[in-house]
Structure 1
Amino acid sequence: MPRSGTASSEQARISLLQEGAQVKSRTPSPGDGRADLLVRNSSGVLYLYRGTQVEKTPFSARIQVRTGWNFTSNVANGDVTGDGIADVIARDSGGTLWLYPGTNRASSSLFGTRKSLGTGFNQYNLLF
């Protein structure tokens, strides 16, 4: 919808997230070019909300994609491996960086087998 350039009191709200959820990433997956949302709850369960490109309902119902997602930092998302599929890099509490290669599947197999990218990254307070 075109905007006139004047101020508006409209606010975007995402009411489908449960209380205490943390937004970890927005990433285009699984291969449809739409911005999706990854969120983690306080129990370490990771959910995918697929983008719909519809203003009134910007995300579809959540899909549980992982458990045990207890990382201290989500470092990067996007195509890290160069295969055209969105990936995620996360840091654990010991300072190890992990690459989770994307698979283009909106399911519990959203990521392939993780790969260590190195250790000692807990000395940094900002990774991007």
Structure 2
Amino acid sequence: MASSHIGIKVPPHQLAKTIAFYLAALKAFGYSELMRPTDNCVGLGVENPDFFISSDEEVSEKQKVHLAFHAKSHAEVEEFYSEAIAAGGICNGKPGPRPEYNSPTYFAAFVLDPIGNNVEAEFI
């Protein structure tokens, strides 16, 4: 499994300022805005979006960071989920298709790690 993307959450009133900061800071690496799947989420990257910034009215100490790892198959996504739950993770989305991600083949599972970060395994 390879790293796929990372995401951070900020309060809505900090979204525009945070996007502007990262666009400026990451310009040196060739990053630009590549997608805006919703009004409260932007995907930055060079060729493909791999860094997402989103806002949430209820940003808490938990789930501020989102880590995603690319799986080679549905079976790997399911294995990740099973092993993560067995290791003490908390379900944040069972393995299954995610049509809301604008891809008919997106299949993913989400688990909260011991300190509340959202960890995803995805197969596209």
Normalised to the residue count of structure 2, the TM-score between the two structures is: 0.32
Q: Structure 1 length normalisation: TM-score?
A: 0.31
Structure holding more helix per residue: 2
The answer to which structure, 1 or 2, has the higher relative contact order (CA under 8 A, 6+ apart) is 2
More strand by share: 2
